Chain A
Amino acid sequence: MKPYIIYQIAKADFLERARRFSFLMISIFSMFLAFFSVPNTEAPLVSVCMEPNIFHQGSNPTWIPVAIALCGGILFPMIGLSYVKNNISMDRNHGLLYSMQSMNMKKENYIVGKFLSNLFILTFMWIFAMIGAAFMLPFRFPDQPLPVYDFISPFIGVYPGIIFTSAFAVILESISFISNKAGNVIGQTVLFVIFLINYSTSDYNNPIIRAFDYSNYRWIMDSINDAVIPIIGHAVQETGILVPGGMFADSKGRQELFFHGLLWNGRYFVDKLVLIVISMSLILSAVMLLEKNEKNTKISFDKLQRKERMGRKKIYYANQLISEYRMILKSLPKSCFAAVTVLWICSIFAPLNYVKDYLWILMLIFLVTLFSQMGCREYENNVTEYFTTINFSLIKQILYSFFGEP
């Protein structure tokens, strides 16, 4: 591995994405995450709520970093994965990956460069969330300073999860047949399932479950309990993360609760080191899995012509709505259709609680990642240039895409 080459690959990829307007928007969204995460039981959606009948929620600045780390630890890797998981597939789809391989580019340099680029992007976004939190402190609590450790340690605790997400994105992309939408769906589902296991397991001594706690949920909860137990004599029992505001609207808690950042714990520290080692092994696996040559993807000219004739015929008889509908369906991987169908059938027969808590969320993740184009198809393919020359075609296209999706 050559550091200079890795640096150039990471730099090029990072600059390419950081200069996009979407990066600015998602960074602003990260700052907004800080605003949104400040606990407020009267808000329509409450980020974090702990023993609302005992404690005054979000009454001092120590709540801000803890609440952001708790919500961000869950949401940020999932949002971040969707955002960063397209750099290798973009190179592959445009042939740049294979051109670079013909330049004797070593796979390890390429993969490590892409991983570092992912990491830089997510780090910047996380820093934006921290900046947002820092702005919120004087805004909400003008005369209450917060010790640096109490502010920064909850954010740092999530960082191994960010490293894991960056590595996970790279391995999902290194396998060519799942590198596009299917990979997004698989990635989101895996992250969600890992979180669910961590959230609901009673066997938290299991080293594998501990190591995969990318959201740092357990460590933060232990740190919260460290502050709670001396006051009420037991761990937090009534909690809510990302729950509707109405649930706690009548709570009367007036007791002050101060957190002290992440509680130092060697065991959790080792868990985070293990998560980083897992991330490194994912990168190594990605190096091995990345193809060395372009795969055979062409089909015979006759077959192409046959397909083209069929397509032309159907579009000729159909209108733009049906054309949009067909194009949307064509772009979706069949495996994901199958998965959504299985989830749909399961949700008919499974108990309602189970369906509400797990299956519907999984279906939502599947469908959002499937139907989101992750970059406008028309802009990417310069179709907008044709559309702008035809009256109302862009407006019609947007409407038909919207109606075509369900």
Chain B
Amino acid sequence: MKLVLENVTKKYRDKTAIQNISAELHSGQLIGLIGKNGAGKTTLLKLLSTIIKPTNGRILLDGQDIVKNPDIMRSTVGYLPQEVFAYPNLTVLEYLFYIASVKGMGRKEAEKQINAFLADFHLENAGNKRMGDCSGGMKQRTGIICALLGNPQIIIVDEPTVGLDPEERIAVRNILSGLSKERIVILSTHIVSDIEAVSSRILMLQHGNLVFDDSPEKLILKAKGYVWEYTLPSLRKNMKGISSMVQTEAGIHIRQVSREKPDNEAVSVNSTLEDACLFVLEE
């Protein structure tokens, strides 16, 4: 399966949310989508899941234009929006059966998949709990199950690990990683460690433009030699590119991404994906 974006642009009245994005996504990839707030990540995911239409450009799924024929994409995509809304008075099971039926699944098939997913996401005992009484993490996991129901070949998830505890976060990203063997999985998140753990490719957006499209290793290389660590007695004004700041007895231990050596005492250290993301976005 191949998903191609050709010069895709999306404008909202006087704001350009996405500008001339081109990319080619294949099955077997878990693609991490990174960018600051307002960079256009959610808009891009909505374009791919046919919720909105691009102002210009084409999106092709196996050569077929999904802007003109959204049903082609809609029959094969599983989408998790940024904010999961579920009817608060329905139970988890009722809600999942509802979504399964909307996806056109029969009762038996729905039952089989729902039971399996409830076990995978540790929600076996929550089936009869009303959505309004569920915790944020439970709602989020229910939302992820909704996206995965019906065995979609393209999975688009917007911030899936928000509100999950560390154990659940790992479980979710491992499931997504497993699914990406035969599918296209697009994972948008602010949590760089999630992407670091499972992504084979990273798309980075800034102000609606695609500023990076390659492997995580290549991204880390970009910041090589530009990551520094040093200690200061107190913070200076207008410091940029700080990736961590720890208060110690000796002062403030700072990790900073910068093209220039920020302090005489600064020592160059190995870059991480988080440093690299900061480096590219600060550039």
Q: Which residues of A contact B (CB under 8 A)?
A: 2, 4-5, 7-9, 11-13, 15-17, 19-20, 94-96, 98-105, 109, 292-294, 296-301, 303
**For the complex, is B79 an interface residue (Cβ under 8 Å from A)?**
yes
The yes or no answer to B124 lying at the interface (CB within 8 A) is no
What are 24 A-B contacts with C-beta separation under 8 Å? A4-B106, A8-B97, A11-B94, A15-B89, A15-B94, A16-B89, A94-B83, A94-B85, A95-B85, A98-B46, A101-B50, A101-B74, A102-B73, A103-B79, A104-B74, A104-B104, A292-B70, A294-B46, A294-B52, A298-B12, A298-B13, A300-B14, A301-B15, A301-B38
A299 to B15, Cβ gap below 8 A?
yes
How distant is B241 from chain A, measured CB to nearest CB, in Å?
23
**Using Cβ atoms and an 8 Å threshold, which residues of chain A touch B53?**
293
**Could you tell me the distance in whole angstroms from the C-beta of B120 to the nearest C-beta in chain A?**
20
A95 touches B83 (CB 8 A): yes
Tell me how far the C-beta of A347 lies from the nearest C-beta in chain B, rounded to whole angstroms: 38
Given contact pairs A2-B104, A9-B101, A303 touches B14 in the complex (Cβ within 8 A): yes
Whether the pair B90, A15 counts as a contact (CB closer than 8 A) is yes
A7: chain B residues within 8 A (beta carbon): 101
Q: How far is the CB of B112 from chain A (nearest CB, A)?
A: 16
Q: Report Cα–Cα, A301/B71, bound state, in Å.
A: 32
Q: For the complex, give the distance between the alpha carbons of A101 and B81 in Å.
A: 12
Q: Are B94 and A102 in contact (CB under 8 A)?
A: no
CB pair A293–B51 under 8 Å, yes or no, is yes
Contact present for B50 and A8 (CB under 8 Å)? no
Chain A residues, Cβ within 8 Å of B15:
298-301, 303
Q: Which of A12, A100, A297 contacts B87 (CB 8 A)?
A: A12
Report the minimal beta-carbon distance from A313 to chain B, rounded to whole angstroms.
23
The reply to whether A104 and B71 contact each other, CB–CB distance below 8 Å, is yes
Residues of A within 8 A of B98 (CB): 8-9, 11-12
Asked whether, in the complex, the Cβ of A12 is within 8 Å of the Cβ of B13, the reply is no
In the complex, B128 has a CB within 8 A of chain A: no
Rounded to whole Å, the gap between the CB of A167 and the closest CB of chain B is 22
Contact between A298 and B94, CB atoms less than 8 A apart: no
Q: 16 new A-B pairs (CB below 8 Å) besides A4-B106, A101-B51, A104-B103?
A: A5-B101, A8-B98, A9-B101, A12-B95, A15-B89, A16-B88, A16-B89, A95-B85, A99-B79, A102-B79, A292-B70, A293-B50, A293-B52, A296-B13, A298-B15, A301-B15
Q: Tell me which residues across on chain B come within 8 A of A9, comparing CB atoms.
A: 98, 101-102
B5-51, CB < 8 A from A: 12-15, 17, 38, 46, 49-51
A5 adjacent to B79 (CB under 8 Å): no
| B82-119 contacts to A (CB < 8 Å) | 83, 85-90, 94-95, 97-99, 101-104, 106-107
A2 to B101, CA, bound (A): 10
How far is it, in angstroms, between the C-alpha of A11 and the C-alpha of B101 when the chains are bound?
Answer: 11
Residue from A96, A102, A294, A303 whose CB has the most chain B CB atoms within 10 Å? A102
List chain B positions with a Cβ less than 8 A from chain A: 12-15, 17, 38, 46, 49-53, 70-71, 73-75, 77, 79, 81, 83, 85-90, 94-95, 97-99, 101-104, 106-107, 130, 150
Q: Write out the residue numbers on chain B whose beta carbons fall within 8 Å of the beta carbon of A15.
A: 87, 89-90, 94
Sort A-B residue pairs by CB-CB distance and give the 5 closest, nearest first: A8-B101, A94-B85, A104-B74, A298-B12, A300-B15
In Å, the complex CA distance between A101 and B52 comes to 11
B11 to chain A: closest residue by CB: A296
Contact A104 B79 (CB under 8 A): no
Across-interface contacts of A20 in B (CB, < 8 A): 89
Q: Which residues of A contact B74 (CB under 8 A)?
A: 101-104
Q: B82 CB to closest chain A CB, in angstroms?
A: 9
Q: Determine how close the nearest CB of chain B comes to the CB of A352; give it in whole angstroms.
A: 48
Bound CA span A292–B15, Å: 22
* Residues of chain B with a CB closer than 8 A to A99's CB: 51, 79, 81
In the docked arrangement, what's the CA distance between A171 and B73, Å? Answer: 28
Distance between Cα atoms of A26 and B95 in the complex (Å): 25
Are A12 and B94 neighbours in the complex by a CB distance under 8 Å? yes
With the chains together, A16 CA to B94 CA distance in Å? 10
Establish whether residues B13 and A300, one from each chain, have CB atoms under 8 Å apart when the complex forms.
Answer: yes
Of A4, A19, A94, A102, the residue contacting B51 (CB under 8 A) is A102
Which partner residue on chain A sits nearest B46 by CB separation?
Answer: A294
Which residues of A have CB within 8 Å of B17?
298
Q: Which residue of B lies closest to A12 (CB)?
A: B98
Q: Is the CB of B50 within 8 A of A102?
A: yes
Report the minimum CB–CB distance from B183 to chain A (whole Å): 16
Inter-subunit contact A4/B85 (CB<8 Å): no
Closest residue of chain A to B89 (Cβ to Cβ) is A19
Shortest CB distance B46–A (Å): 7
